[in-house]
Every structure is written in C-alpha cells, then in structure tokens.
Structure 1
Amino acid sequence: MKLKTIYAALIFLIITACSQPEELTVEQTETEIDAEIIRQEAPPEPKEEETTITIGAVGDVLLHERVYVPAETEDGYDFMPMLEKVGPLLQEPDFLMANFESIPGGVEIGLSTYPSFNSPHEIVTDLQSLGVDMAIGANNHTIDRGVRAVESALDFFDEVGMDYVGVYRDTADRETERIVTIEDITLGVLAYTYGTNGIPIPEGHEDIVALIDPDRIEKDVKALREKVDILIVHMHWGDEYIHEPNQKQRELAQLLSEAGVDIVFGHHPHVLQPIDLLEQEDGHETYVFYSLGNFFSGQNFEYTDIGGLATIEVTKTTKGEDSTINIHTPDIEPTLVVLEDDVYSVMPMADSEGSLINGVTTEETREHIWKYLNESE
C-alpha cells in the first residue's frame, strides 16, 4: 500500500512538471515583443508624385515661292530671321508638333509653289531648332510632287532626328506606332487627311499618306489607346477660309471622342476655328482644336495671316502602382504672319497692333478661340 502511494505521488509530480509552461529568457521575451510590434505596424503610405507637361501644336507651314525666295542664301535657305520673333513662344511646350503642309522635299527635285508645293529642307531644321519635335505629314498637298518628294522629305527627317506621322514610306512604316515619352507621360500620335487634291495614291504606295477612313481610324485608335497615357489625333479636314467647323468635322470629332481620343488638332481651313470640349456618357472628355490656321505661309486672304500655338497641359498623379491623368488648361496663343519689305515673318499677335489685312485684334481673336468653351460654362 505504501509503495502504491509513492508511485502515485511520482506520477503526479511528472504530470505536473510536464504541464508547466516553459519559462522564457529575457532575450526571448524581448525578441517576440519586437516581432509583434513589427507585425502590428501599418506599411508606410505610398508617396504621391505629380508630373505636368505641356503639349503644343502649330498650324499650316505652307511655303509659297514668295516666302522661300527671300530666305535664299549663298549656300541654301535660312528662315531663322523670319521666325526668330516667335521663337521664345515655341520653346514653351515640352512637346511640339507642326503641320508641314508643303512637303519639304528639298532643292534637288526642284522647289515649287502653288498649286503643287515642294519646300527647302532647311524649314525642317530651322523649326526644329526653335522647338518643333514632330512633323505632321497628312494633308492634301502631301503627294503634290509624288513619291520622290515624300521619300526625300522622310530621308531628311530621319537624318536630322525629326519624328513624323501621317506620311509614310510603306505599310511597315505606317504600322510602326508613334509613341513618345515626355517625363514619364506617354503620348500616342496619329494623323489623317480628307484627300490629296484629286491626285491618285501611287500604285504600290497605298500607305504613303493616311486618309480619313472611320473604320481604319477606329482600328488605329483601339490599337494605340491602351499603350499610352494620352492619345492625340491630327485631322486635315473642314472648309477653307471658314471660321466654324462644318457638320462633317463635328461628326468626326464625335467619332474620335467616342473611340477614346484625348486631344484633336485640326488643320486645312487656313483660319482659326474655336476650341471645344466633347464629353461622353462614360465620362471620357476630348479637347478639339478644330483649326489652328496658318502658322507660316504666303496667303493674303482675310484672316489667313492669323494662326496660333495651341497648348494643353497634362498632369499625371502617381501613388504607388495607381496613377490618374488630368488634361486641362487648353489655349491658343495667336500668331501673326507679317509682310514687310517683301519678306514674310511670324510673330506673336500680342506683340502687334493686330492684323494688317483685316484689322482684327488679339482680343477679338481670343474671343473667337474661346467661343464654344465660354458658351458651355
């Protein structure tokens, strides 16, 4: 009986000892407390970063003989004296495009004027030195002088590092997407024209110039839309010398907006047309600059001496992996082509007393530019 009691006591002691919690050392306790604090601390809030760039475009660069002859020098052509007054204005955008309406095919194939244009190469490098980054080549004068002039112009663009769109060497060139990155903001650019003044598209060069085809435009926009932050389309459209967009322009602008285009720059009327804002049911917005007028030309009709630098700002806000895009502050700063001593030059309209052809002032011009936006407020 006594032996059984001893065995029972031993078993009780063993069971009690096994059930006691393990005593932690000071070092173990502190380590586990630190780990618990780390687990409980929230991750740091991602820093919000904001980037804003300015996109710019100017209208028709259409060099008549009376424009390029005074620019001739002993060893070529120099347009800088004609453009220097507007130079500081062109430096303002972070990315600037210009509509090269007269193909800059160079002197080797012979310069020519209205109605079949071919301009000196030097207009490209002079505008490039003032800030132009991309040549818009889709217009009704693109193939005035045929494939040879186009290829000469494209060779020169490549030689000097000028991007181009709307005019192409071949199908492969056209299918090469024009995507530009400016300070971490990606821009996609397309360009189209209503026609080529009745000149047939050369056989074997079906993609030499991009024509306005709604189905093709929608296809191009869809392919580019998801790859860029901002999608820009240049349209050569409208009625010459008319100050308001026609019905076809409005319909095409609506098509572009519905397809997801952010900014539309228009060319061809040779006069300024207003800016508009199109809003879709899904919340998408498109700014439309219906016509930028003439930037540099020898046209002397009413209002054809007035063009402008179109600008619009894009702000990208990034927080962690999320980002938002805001397009804002659209404007056109009017420019003026002035004829003095048989020399055409371009200047900011604000630096003048107004148009010498029709007497229009800068204030009146700006009222016209903002007509639609003011009406929608």
Structure 2
Amino acid sequence: MSARTRYAAVALAAALAAGCGGRLSSPYPLPHPAPYPVRKPLAKAQPRGPVGAGPAKDARPFTLVASGDIIPSSPDVLRTARRDAAGTGYDFRPMLTEVQPVVSRADLALCHLNAPLGPLSGPFTGYPVYQAPPQVATALKATGYDSCSTASNHVLDQGVPGVSRTLEAMDTVGLRHVGSGRDAAEGMRPAVLRAEGGAQVAQLAYTYGTDQKRRPASAPWTVNLLNVEKIITDARAARRAGADVVVVSPHWGTEYHTAPTKEQLTLARALTASQTNGRPDIDLILGTHAHTPQPYEKVNGTWVVYGLGNQLAGGMRKPEGNWGTLARFRFAPPRRAGQRWRVTRAQYIPQLTDLGPPLRVRNLARTQAHRDVRKAIRAAVLSRGAGADGLRMGG
C-alpha cells in the first residue's frame, strides 16, 4: 500500500467513525458502545487468499445467521439515521438494536447490501438509483456481521466507481464482501471465514442481472451473474481450497412474491444435486431480492432459503416489503472424513421494519405485537414443507 493510499484509508476510517455521531473511537466498532454488548470473539475473518487445509481434528459445531436485503438509502431510513447521529453524519446502528443480539451471538453472520455506498459528502438517493451513506458499513460491523454479499440488481447504480467505493468502505471497517470486485482476482474470490471451532466457510454471491447500468464488457468482474455452471465451478474450487461449508447467496426471484419462481426452483435443484465424490458441492443457499419472505425448503438434502425478505428497508411499495427473516443454522462436523458438515438445527426468526417514527427493525419472535405479520411470515416460510424437515421459529 502506497503512502497516499494508506493516508486515504486512514482518513476514510476516521470519517466513518465520526459519521456515526462521534461515538466510536475507532473505525473498527468492537467493543460495541452501549447499547451494544461486547461480542465474544467467535468468528475470525481470514486474510484474502487460499482457504487453507480444512478444519482441525477437534473441529466443533458452529452457528450461522443470515439476513436479507439492506436498503439504507430510502428517505425515511436516511432521516432516521441522520436523527440518530444527532446531526453529525449518519448512524444506522440504533435501527438494528433489536436484532443485534441474534446477529452478534452467531459464530458467523452474513448480510446482503442492496445499494452502492457513496462518498461521505453524498448525495444519497433512494429508488430507483441507489446511493447510500458509507456509515452503513460501520453499523453492519457493529451489529455483528462478518461478511456481506454485494451482488444485486442495484450494484452498478453508480457505475464502476460505486463498486469501488462500496468495497473500500467495507474493507475500512473490516467487513468481508463477495459478489462484486474491483479487479478480476477480487471478483473471482469467495469470502472466506473461519469459525472459532475450526470450520472454514466460503461464501459465494451472484445476481440475475443489473438495473441501471450493464456490467461493462471491459470489467466483467464488477459483479457476478447467475449461471449454474459457473456457480458449481466456483463452489468446487472453494472446496478444493479447503472450504468445509460452501454457502451460495443468489439475488433472484420476483419482487413481492412469496412463492419462488420456476427459475429459482430449477436452479436450486441443479445446485443442490451437484456432487463431487459423493459429497454435495454446496451446503446452503440463501436467497435475496424478493423483498418479502419466501419459503425455506430442504432440496436434495440441502437447505434452501428462496428469499430472506428485507433486513432493513424504508416505506416499500407493499407492506410485505417491510417483512423479513433471519435464518439460523447449526452445523456439526462430519462423522467421517470426506463427508459433509451436517445441519443439526434450522430456525427462522421473523422480523419487521417498523416505520415508527423512529424507524426500527423489530424481532417479532420477542414480542406479542404484530401477530398478523408474524403469522403471514410463518405461512410463507413453511409453505413448501420445511416444518416437516425440522424448521422452527427461533428467538
């Protein structure tokens, strides 16, 4: 890193900390300031590079949590973040206070950023062309997320510079990312995480396409597009490099539809059927884009979440756009060498973006309010028989 690049990174780090209301003394928001409890050091992101040699002989179970679309630049979200920062920058952390315990207590936590991040000076814009404050990266790290998929139909809303700014902000706060890249090597590289118990998890991410600007032919690595052959090839490469668990995060489906499309069902069957030496190439699929919860289903022995819904959104076109789920899976080591890590517990946690004011993300498993929303989410999540395979509501 050159002196100029290093200076720019330090300047951005200081600005991101100050932009959250001046409550962080470091751009790396651990330990968390009140009201965020200190997260026990469970998951450690590894430096970029090969996954490694696999788990230790005494590898232990781990818990993985994942959430849906984060849309941080709608007008009401921006107003709330501005107010929560007491007029100094933007602070997205208070909006996520209720779900922070679920996220931070997981061994690994994955999110999905559905908007490019802009410069500190803005401007910040909502639908249809997104640009969000970079301080959202600080909030996601403070909430407990380890890695965030960035492949979406909005990834190129601000062109190639938007991709670079987004990934720079995530790097600055220590948040891993996958699905877009600043160069060919980064675009091909999975996000690799190691749980404290020894398991190595590779996350891959892809989108069905982009809205405002096409992926430039001169820089195809800016975003990964859905292609069954490529996904399987990438998953096998991650496995050869030492990944114990391979997670695929596809951005797919039809907005505001609780039922998965024919394309989603077909792709899920193809991906979960792919094996190498009798071992599935993919261990978990976590879908986004529908903006409302879609079914969880066990397909060919592998859990598929067709749509997690929204993690954080402002006023959406339909009320269902403010619904979401947190998926929580407990993985156990294989009984014998060469076998897959097994999901021993599968849970969903219903959530709602309460528009307030103030706007807050609610954990519906921890309240008696919003019974109708909780019931509707349950119906969607269990609509393809996941309950018979052991899926339960978590808390």
By the TM > 0.5 criterion, same fold?
Answer: yes
How far apart are residue 329 of structure 1 and its match?
Answer: 1.3
Q: Return the structure number with greater helix share.
A: 1
**Matching residue's letter, 1:150:** V
**Does residue 310 of the first structure (1) align with residue 298 of the second (2)?**
no
Q: Return the structure number with greater strand share.
A: 1
Secondary structure at the aligned position of 2:168 is classed as helix
Residues 112-143 of structure 1 show CA distances to partners (whole Å, capped at 9, x for unaligned) of: 11100011111111121111111110000001
In structure 2, the partner of 1:349 is 364
* Aligned with residue 265 of structure 1, among 261, 277, 286: 286
Aligned-residue RMSD, C-alpha: 2.1
5+ long unaligned stretches in structure 1: 1-47, 280-284
* Equivalent pair of 1:272/1:307 in contact (CA under 8 Å): yes
Question: Where in structure 2 are the equivalents of 1:141-290 lying within 5 Å?
Answer: 141-182=154-195, 183-197=197-211, 199-226=213-240, 227-259=242-274, 260-279=281-300, 285-290=301-306
Question: Where in structure 2 are the equivalents of 1:1-377 lying within 5 Å?
Answer: 49=58, 51-63=60-72, 64-72=74-82, 73=85, 74-182=87-195, 183-197=197-211, 199-226=213-240, 227-259=242-274, 260-279=281-300, 285-300=301-316, 301-316=318-333, 325-341=341-357, 343-355=358-370, 360-371=372-383, 372-374=385-387
**Matching residue's letter, 1:373:** A
Residues 132-169 of structure 1 show CA distances to partners (whole Å, capped at 9, x for unaligned) of: 11111000000101111211111111111110000111
* Equivalent pair of 2:287/2:307 in contact (CA under 8 Å): yes
Closer/same/farther in 2, CA of residues 318 and 217 from structure 1, 3 Å limit: closer
Count matched residues.
320
* Equivalent pair of 1:49/1:317 in contact (CA under 8 Å): no
In structure 1, the partner of 2:10 is none
**Matching residue's letter, 2:250:** M
* Equivalent pair of 1:106/1:153 in contact (CA under 8 Å): no
Greater shift in the superposed pair: 329-338 or 49-58: 49-58
How far apart are residue 266 of structure 1 and its match?
Answer: 0.3
In structure 1, C-alpha distance between the alignment counterparts of 2:126 and 2:109, rounded to whole Å: 26
* Equivalent pair of 1:243/1:272 in contact (CA under 8 Å): yes
5+ long unaligned stretches in structure 2: 1-56, 275-280, 391-395
**TM-score after normalising by structure 1:** 0.79
Higher Rg: 1
Residues 152-200 of structure 1 show CA distances to partners (whole Å, capped at 9, x for unaligned) of: 1111111111100001111111233432211211111100000001521
In structure 2, C-alpha distance between the alignment counterparts of 1:50 and 1:332, rounded to whole Å: 25
* Equivalent pair of 1:354/1:361 in contact (CA under 8 Å): no
Closer/same/farther in 2, CA of residues 109 and 302 from structure 1, 3 Å limit: closer
Secondary structure at the aligned position of 1:172 is classed as helix
Closer/same/farther in 2, CA of residues 117 and 198 from structure 1, 3 Å limit: closer
How far apart are residue 255 of structure 1 and its match?
Answer: 1.5
* Equivalent pair of 2:103/2:143 in contact (CA under 8 Å): yes
**Matching residue's letter, 2:326:** L
* Equivalent pair of 1:107/1:119 in contact (CA under 8 Å): no
In structure 1, the partner of 2:278 is none
* Equivalent pair of 2:325/2:351 in contact (CA under 8 Å): yes
How far apart are residue 68 of structure 1 and its match?
Answer: 1.1
